[in-house]
Structure 1
């Protein structure tokens, strides 16, 4: 009997590497290959010691020095899990410069190389993940992603100052961006930034904000603002998660009208995907009640609704001593109320419809501005993460000062409802605050948390204390499995069918 003859792939060895043509995207640079019959050639990849049976390719670095190599699955192929290595040098004397296992689509691999020597040859090896992975066809592509036009400070895109986010907003992209300048003071892991510029309006007040773009994979930004000129910049503002979700917002006051500020948008870290985002510069007018001396008077009602007004903390600064019940509170605004004849008063905050402000703390003071004494403090005693302070035995006719704070620097700003009222005179047939309250249990929880009423809940978002979205559950059931979360505090944000949002705080054991 004749022995079977093994047929190896033509590019089974480095010396037979298949040349790739550099495209402008995956499709234009793609070719279909196979690892059927491949043997092991060369050192195992640094990112996967179990990789076996590799085939070889080569590519010439384009003039930009930037190149992406990516593998993808071929329909019907049994090869479904790749590892990819890139080398400089020559066959027989190679140096690994990068390695990836699952950075592409599904279980396939992707390498993005920058700063390579134009005209030099890079050798690429595609391995199957381990001996249990099937052989077969796959796609491989080499393409260059050119840096965006505003990749450097000197090419910053001018922003036009609007009156709100929408009027000043443009859509931009950080795909292909390189890292330029000093890392932000608020996030040393930030990288791959793009640049903008803005002229300070006559008021000297300006807000720069980033938000998520529809269908974009870019989900987490850091934002820095500088005075000076390119090459000689001074950071005057930095924020990581002060905007919506994991996006950023910097509010500046007292800037010199007519001067140019430079703005840099960074992705949070190397693990953050690139893509489109929205950025806006708009004029921020300081809030009338940003200080105790300009507190807005509240009229005491007989229930929450009768005493309620809608207010806003957008652009608020921190004024006074942090609350005794929450040392991390910031960005407060002020109100005052005259104690009714009963000597009893409740001060309560609630969520405003369609507002991104979801977590308040309240402090109440006696005395006068500049000489205040805290007599009440609450963090989560009201609906969800909102606050309620109930006071008795106060002097009728005396003026109390009330400060509403956002929970922490990562809490978004926006509108909220506040009311001062005394419902102790309501008859037994009257009901105050007839809104349905939703709760979670058990709290703390191990793996499963139950929402008391999901009949009007459209979706559930799980947010960590830094404001980062970690999970979204559409059309949830009452019991949510959260066993994959790490131990700690989380915010369970319920998006209701009517468009409002309710946020609950829960602790994972």
Structure 2
């Protein structure tokens, strides 16, 4: 009878030990901070069975649900940061009234602690009533787009300037490269003089959104035209171990025009802070100036020289053939007239400044 009792005790001890599967390899390599917002938060889309993730920032006393999907099975063991077991079981696993703020989320195929090299998507969600979703960001809709300055140096790998946490679907048709697009936020920028193309990027460390998709639009809210789009074009390794943020490169723009940028997560769980930057890629050249509709007439001119261009002419100066400035005028207009009646007959150089580029033409004064 004692042998039978001992066998039964050892059997159940063995099952209990087997049921607590402690992994020794961490992934993602960096800790993940719990959002505590009541929405499902992705830890990573590629945990292997036999790995664990470190999650910080849990609120002591709150309830959390841990899930793992993919692969041939998903068995979860939750421990504290010293691997003392808190809970274990098949996914989804609920931990009530968590007693620590940092946990390790271990994953295996079953309570036999088998491992694999398949990608498992792991998530955490605070399910307590106190974990309410955040309010929608101020730039949740296109009409409330946050204005950005081209070539700002704010995005440095530490700073963030936005979040899509709590964002709602703006109702704009999904951009051509978007997989999701429903937790989108909006930005705008106006192109300064001299710029021909821009880069638009979320490819910076420092944020908690590590899988973004972005699109660039011309036009106005309610009448947008897609200019360019990118999903996962980034090269910076983020906290999830992947380069899943986005870059739109060398997008053509027009000086003085306002453009809109839409940023979304890859899916419903891809939410968090990020930094969005718009930067100069190519400058306008003199050839760009010539190719547009710059006109100066009549030439030869007797009194008034008419000047026009497709965009605003900021200033114009007239020089004699000795290089001396004889006339100067601030215009800030696309069309203007220059009174040359006071000048002596002869040849002159007229220099017009447009978009930071100077166009020089020879004019004959009669």
For normalisation by structure 2, the TM-score amounts to 0.45
Higher relative contact order (CA 8 A, sep 6+): 2
